[in-house]
Amino acid sequence: MPQRPEQKSEPITIPAALQSAHDGFLRHMRLERSRSEHTLRAYSSDITNLLTYAIPRGAQTLEGIDLPLLRTWLMTLQESGLARATLSRRSASIRSFLAWALRENLIDTNPASRLQSPKREQRLPHVLQSNQIQRMFDAPPRPTNQGNTDTKEPTAEERALADRNTLILELLYATAIRVGELVSLDIDSLDLDRRTLRVIGKGDKERTVPFGQPALNALDNWLRRSRPTLRNEHSGPALLLGKRGKRLDARQAREVVSKALADLGDTAARGPHALRHSAATHLLDRGADLRAVQEILGHSSLATTQLYTHVSVERLKESYQRAHPRA
């Protein structure tokens, strides 16, 4: 089986011209396209993977990367067992990189413009049933790391963390925002009278998202009773706080959601995206307009939102198979 390009026995030195192009592209994506650090890391990994494959094959500049080399690179990755989703992402990264290089006059032609990659598998996301959502919110809230195990009465800090965890779940399901958007919220992102959030999404695009009465109740408990318990000089304007009073990070929020979903015991769904998927699907199941859901989710393309219509159809088919006497 061919070896993956990144598993070379000896480290490969990237020539200055290629390293400069790599760094310039990332700088462009950070400063001019406002890409997240997570996305920048993926770009860097994908481009470096290609360069370390291309350099031993004679490419010392970008002009040395041609279409046959790109195709053999992708074929090698595919034969090594890399997932189709990763292959698709890597080829998309390289297309963006070389398109930028063409605009910057670093190359005369873009060989990646004719590069085809395997289509991503369109797996339907895990979607929670309405009764599972209700059970999740009915469960007694508690912090993920229960420190006070010797006494029955929770401390003020434990009550505050429990209220925060409830708010995390309520906001993620009520608004279908991403976990990164959630932990980036400040107090002034809220409009409690109108029951809306001002969210900064991908590409620094701002959108307004509504939420319902249960989320408003959770916000009231958190702001009035529990946030002051955790707040300190490090808190700043952050809406959600960690145990030490600093802004909550995405990893901690994921732990809260994964724990709540695992406690249900009857779903494979894990992590904040499961609540985002579920909220979008439930909205469409109950007749919400597709473009309204697109706006709530912050999708730039309606085609991305249409995935949830397929989820709804699958759920409909499952119900039909279970219930219809001649299914």
Cβ atoms of 234 and 246 within 8 Å: the answer is yes
- Active site residue: 90, 164, 276, 277, which one? 276
Cα dihedral 133, 139, 140, 144, rounded to 10, equals -70
Cβ atoms of 167 and 143 within 8 Å: the answer is no
Active site residue 234: no
Active site residue 243: no
Active site residue 276: yes
- Active site residue: 89, 120, 195, 202, which one? 202
Q: Quick check: helix, strand or coil at residue 36? A: coil
Dist CA 215 CA 174 (whole Å):
7
How remote is the C-alpha of 195 from its chain's centroid?
24
**Token pair for 130:** 């309405």
- Active site residue: 178, 227, 277, 282, which one? 178
Cβ atoms of 222 and 187 within 8 Å: the answer is no
Cβ atoms of 141 and 163 within 8 Å: the answer is yes
Query: Which alpha helices (DSSP H) does 178-271 contain, by range?
Result: 179-183, 213-221, 227-230, 250-264
- Active site residue: 120, 198, 273, 315, which one? 273
Active site residue 135: no
Active site residue 178: yes
Please report, as a single letter, which amino acid is at residue 217. N
Q: Between vectors from CA 10 to CA 7 and to CA 14, what angle results, nearest 5°?
A: 90
- Active site residue: 43, 53, 173, 308, which one? 308
Q: Which residues contact 245 (CB under 8 A, 6 or more apart)?
A: 230, 231, 232, 233, 234, 235
Active site residue 277: no
Q: Active-site positions?
A: 178, 202, 273, 276, 299, 308
